[in-house]
């Protein structure tokens, strides 16, 4: 585990201060410097004494990640950041621009263990899970570099957030904290490929975070082939967990559907999806496949719009969502890096 105060919540930093013989308010001050003001150098903590600054430095560096590369798309101004971790592993983070709104797509793991066959990140396998500090540092550095107010957070980068549940929830809580980055809970979305027990656990959190489920097929056999997680948590169990979530929280659940040419883009696929989701309070995002070097293709534009037209009578809203950053391999399913450690 990395020795850094960036792994600590608001309450934990107050406890740390008391353990060091300080008043709790000092922990609160440190929290604001680290997470609200994005300071990495204790010399900038102007209302903190030199003695306390030395204690902070002794507890470990506040520089958790090193920026290795920063790319900006000529097409839509999307930005991709390559960060190197303390152990030599690398992760990618994406900042998406939409008018005056800026959405940050965070990674939760180095690589991914889920093995979804259309996702480039899955080819990396799982190298390790990120610590809370490493997740938060992506936000802190991008906020500083871009000099823009990030309005939305999506945990849709590298990794399966629900396989690193504790660290991800802790990071989301800190991002939401009113003394920290103060990102509204309803502007923070966690995504999962379908880890059923965690969906049920997530339903009982005392936060208003949103939940997105990567579905990609309403046919059990087809989903088995596309997403190995379905063999452990079959479609019936996943949809039951989704219904449970909406019942407990009284909130919509978001389903993500990556449209693959000749695989899941036919009328039968659409009607099967319509029949399954009509029973659940939800929203469906249809995402045309972002091509990598896999065997899959992206449907033609006319075919994409035809697929969406099958949902005219749906009881739930359907959005055709085009991913930003395709030109710099920063779009949904494209994140990948040849890590130094294997």
Q: How far apart are CA 163 and CA 116, in angstroms?
A: 14
Q: What is the mean pLDDT of the chain?
A: 93
**Cβ neighbour number for residue 35 with a 10 Å cutoff:** 24
For the chain, where are the alpha helices, taking DSSP H only?
A: 10-19, 24-31, 50-58, 132-146, 165-176, 196-202, 220-226, 229-232, 235-249, 267-277, 301-309
* 79-94: average pLDDT: 95
**Cβ neighbour number for residue 223 with a 10 Å cutoff:** 21
Residues marked as catalytic: 92, 332
Give 342's pLDDT tier (boundaries 50, 70, 90).
Answer: very low
What structural domains does the chain harbor? Answer: 5-58 (1.10.150.530), 66-328 (3.20.20.70)
**Cβ neighbour number for residue 288 with a 10 Å cutoff:** 24
* 293-297: average pLDDT: 80
- The DSSP code for 340 is S
Greater model confidence, 313 or 203:
203
| pLDDT tens-digit map of 103-153 | 999 999 999 999 999 998 888 999 999 999 999 999 999 999 998 899 999
Q: Are 252 and 281 in contact, with CB atoms under 8 Å apart?
A: yes
Identify the three-state secondary structure at position 307. Answer: helix
| pLDDT tens-digit map of 307-322 | 999 999 999 999 998 8
Strand stretches in the chain, DSSP E: 66-72, 79-84, 90-98, 101-105, 109-111, 126-129, 152-155, 188-192, 210-214, 253-259, 282-288, 318-320
* 256-279: average pLDDT: 96
Distance of CA 288 to the CA centre of its chain: 19
Positive/negative CA dihedral, 42, 43, 48, 50: positive
| pLDDT tens-digit map of 29-39 | 999 999 999 99
Calculate the dihedral angle through the C-alpha atoms of 280, 282, 286, 287, rounding to the nearest 10 degrees: -120
Region of 98 (left: φ > 0; alpha: ψ -120 to 50; beta: rest) is beta
Q: How far apart are CA 107 and CA 116, in angstroms?
A: 16
**What is the phi/psi pair of residue 22, to 5°?**
-110, 170
Q: How many CA atoms lie within 13 A of 190 on its CB side?
A: 29
Q: Are 126 and 342 in contact, with CB atoms under 8 Å apart?
A: no
Q: How far apart are CA 287 and CA 298, in angstroms?
A: 10
Q: 341 pLDDT exceeds 60?
A: no
**What is the phi/psi pair of residue 258, to 5°?**
-80, 120
Burial pattern 129-157, b for ≥16 Cβ within 10 A else e, equals bbbbbbbbbbbbbbbeebeeebebbbbbb
Give 175's pLDDT tier (boundaries 50, 70, 90).
Answer: very high
- % pLDDT > 70, the chain: 97
* 5-12: average pLDDT: 97
- The DSSP code for 326 is G
């Amino acid at each position: 585990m990395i020795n850094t105060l960036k792994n600590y919540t608001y309450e934990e930093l107050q406890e740390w201060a008391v353990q060091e013989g300080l008043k709790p308010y000092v922990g609160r001050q440190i929290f604001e410097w680290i997470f609200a003001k994005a300071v990495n150098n204790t010399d900038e903590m102007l209302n903190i004494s030199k003695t306390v600054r030395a204690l902070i430095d002794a507890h470990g560096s506040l520089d958790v990640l090193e920026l290795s590369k920063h790319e900006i798309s000529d097409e839509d101004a999307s930005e991709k950041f390559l960060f190197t971790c303390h152990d030599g592993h690398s992760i990618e983070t994406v900042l998406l621009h939409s008018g005056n709104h800026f959405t940050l797509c965070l990674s939760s793991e180095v690589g991914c263990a889920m093995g979804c066959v259309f996702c480039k990140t899955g080819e990396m396998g799982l190298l390790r899970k990120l610590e809370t500090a490493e997740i938060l540092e992506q936000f802190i550095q991008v906020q500083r570099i871009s000099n823009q107010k990030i309005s939305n957070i999506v945990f849709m980068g590298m990794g399966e957030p629900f396989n690193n549940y504790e660290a991800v929830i802790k990071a989301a809580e800190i991002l939401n904290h009113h003394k920290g980055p103060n990102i509204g809970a309803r502007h923070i979305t966690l995504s999962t490929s379908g880890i059923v027990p965690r969906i049920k656990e997530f339903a009982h959190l005392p936060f208003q975070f949103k939940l997105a489920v990567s579905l990609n097929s309403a046919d059990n056999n087809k989903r088995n082939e596309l997403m190995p997680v379905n063999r452990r948590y079959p479609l019936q169990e996943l949809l039951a967990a989704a219904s449970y979530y909406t019942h407990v929280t009284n909130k919509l659940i978001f389903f993500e559907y990556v449209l693959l040419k000749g695989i899941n883009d036919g009328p039968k696929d659409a009607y099967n999806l319509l029949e399954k989701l009509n029973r659940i309070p939800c929203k469906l995002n249809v995402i045309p496949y972002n091509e990598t070097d896999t065997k899959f293709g992206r449907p033609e534009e006319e075919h994409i719009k035809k697929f969406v037209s099958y949902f005219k009578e749906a009881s739930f809203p359907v959005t055709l969502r085009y991913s930003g950053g395709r030109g710099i391999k920063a779009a949904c399913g494209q994140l990948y890096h040849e890590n130094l450690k294997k």
